[in-house]
Amino acid sequence: MERRNFIKNAVGSIALAGLGSAVTVAAHARNAVSQNVSNKAKFTLKYAPTLEMFKENAGKDPVDNLKFIADQGFRAAYDLGLISRPPEEQEKIAGEALRLGLELGQFSLKTWNIPFVSDKPETKNLIKEKMLAGLEIQKRTGVNKALVVLGYVDPKLQIEYQTANVIENLRICCDIVGEHGLALVMEPLNTLVNHPGIFLSRTTQAKMICVAVNHPSCKMVDDLYHQQVTEGNLISNMEACWDYIGAIHIGDNPGRNEPTTGEINFKNIFRYLYDKKYNEVISCEHGQSKPGKEGELAIIKAYREVDIV
């Protein structure tokens, strides 16, 4: 039987069986992979689950989750909260990912509460501290991309001034991290459903800032869930921003769950990325549409359905 069809059928059978304990489900899932195709039924693109996406099947330990992720044929993983873990745990995660052949995606610099729209000295000091902390993570883990959220709009300051301050603050950031090869990926978020008042919300806005900063370390995230809510026209906007996209996040809309549960045609989007020879991590930034162990296995099944074969 073809490897891809086998793994799809194996995972589907486990989900239908409704197996009782997390240990039993994980054991069956792993045996189905290891006994027949080992870890070779790889996904075509680098879809990256979080280290908590399969905790019902793999448990809470991040290393066990990495093993489970690799066993299912994923080629990448990511942990936005990596910066909050103890240094020894960061190193352990990075070492295990390397051993398993998993590429780690970007971590978050946790800048939500820093007003990048401000030109105050205290803001610049906070930004510098975050950049230096990010460089420490890079040294320990080898992850070369860090996610930045630019904070909220200042209603007392004209938007043009806010934009100018953002550009200047990002130039400061890039001066700190650029020589070390750490790329900053700023994320536009939707204001209609999840993040009212956030400064950066559109791909057009993010591209304009990247052009103005004019530094190779300044890139943008294209989160397809957020941009489907904000602007739609996903493939055309990706094409228009292509040279500045440093990371891609995925989640279907409405609901922000796994592909095939909403209105986004991920099959076409992944075909576009494949044709563009996109070989970077694609972060699975979503929840699950069904509860429990079976819901986690349904996520794997969904990615098998939309993957490029």
Q: How many domains is the chain partitioned into structurally?
A: 1
With a cut of 80, say whether residue 49 has pLDDT above it: yes
Residue 298 belongs to some domain of the structure: no
User: 185: closest CA among 245, 238, 112?
Assistant: 245
41 confidence band (pLDDT: 50, 70, 90): confident
N residues, the chain:
309
Q: Which amino acid is at 257?
A: N
Residue 111 belongs to some domain of the structure: yes
Residue 57 belongs to some domain of the structure: yes
Residue 12 belongs to some domain of the structure: no
249-264: pLDDT as tens digits: 999 999 999 999 999 9
Residue 190 belongs to some domain of the structure: yes
With a cut of 50, say whether residue 38 has pLDDT above it: no
User: 104: closest CA among 133, 81, 88, 84?
Assistant: 81
Residue 83 belongs to some domain of the structure: yes
Q: What is the mean pLDDT of residues 217-233?
A: 98
Residue 217 belongs to some domain of the structure: yes
Q: What is the CATH number of the domain that holds 167?
A: 3.20.20.150
Residue 35 belongs to some domain of the structure: no
Listed in sequence order, the residues at least 6 apart from 196 whose beta carbon sits closer than 8 Å to its beta carbon are none
Q: Are 105 and 91 in contact (CB under 8 A)?
A: no
Find the domain containing 120 and state its range: 46-290
